[in-house]
Amino acid sequence: MHRTLQPELLDSLPSDHPDALHNRRDLRLTNQIVGNHRWMERVLPPLLCASDRVLEIGAGTGELGRRLHRAGVALDGLDLWSRPTVWPGDRLWHQADVRTFAGYAPYAAVCGNLIFHQFSGADLASFGERFRRQVRVVVACEPARRRVSQILYRTLAPLFGANHVSLHDAHVSIAAGFRDDELPRALGLDAATWEVRCTTTALGLYQMIAIRRA
């Protein structure tokens, strides 16, 4: 199953469109079921020093950022969307395109949940080059590219009320997901400089932890 990128329906909808609102509800349920946020909250804080600042790429509606903030992580957000109302008041929000953002210097770590799969290999190489020179830790949670995951989501998601946007976008997101060491290679996290661990869960998550070698 080769990695393929297709447009997601959500990207064509206004943020307040009923289908977009329903899709965000479906994403929250999916995150709860498969445990993306719980995993990020568990693995990221132990990798940080007390003074470290973290940048969440594709921070979206802010649920993960709020959770990590409550866990004591000094986290700022980066997204094309405007600052969400739930974003902690004492944390920064960068409304910008990750592909052109040039403000990585203050950050010791970068994290992203269900965002890296939305970019082509060329885009990943481009912004990977920007941040890997600055940061010490990269943590990502993405779809694992497995046909069985597409089948399971299409079969089970209607049971919790997923709409047509969620069904379509989950299918194309999984097709754009990662296997083995594809993500660190795309970001340029070479083994000589970075210690990288990539795992795939039974529920279809591709999890990457990358730490710059001393």
Tell me the per-residue pLDDT of 19-38, one tens digit each, with 9 for 90 and over: 999 999 999 999 999 999 99
For residue 53, being part of any structural domain is answered with yes
> Taking a C-beta distance cutoff of 8 angstroms, is the pair 68, 48 a contact?
no
Residue 1 belongs to a domain: no
User: What CATH number is attached to the domain comprising 63?
Assistant: 3.40.50.150
d(CA 132, CA 104): 9
Asked if residue 4 belongs to a domain, the reply is no
- Give me the residues paired with residue 208 across strands: 140, 198
**Which residue bears the tokens 């990502």?**
140
Q: What is the pLDDT of residues 39-79, one digit of tens each?
A: 999 999 999 999 999 999 999 999 999 999 999 999 999 99
**pLDDT score for 214:** 83
Angle at 138 between CA 134 and CA 141, to 5 degrees: 150
Question: What is the Cα–Cα distance from 114 to 126, expressed in whole angstroms?
Answer: 18
pLDDT at position 110 is 98
Q: Which residues form the domain of 174?
A: 9-212
Domain count, the chain: 1
**3 part of a folded domain:** no
Rounded Cα distance, 118 and 6, in Å? 9
Which residue ranges of the chain lie beneath pLDDT 50? none
pLDDT at 133: 87
The dihedrals phi and psi of 21, each to the nearest 5 degrees, come to -65, -40
> Rounded to whole angstroms, how far apart are CA atoms 119 and 92?
24
Residue 113 is assigned to a structural domain of this protein: yes
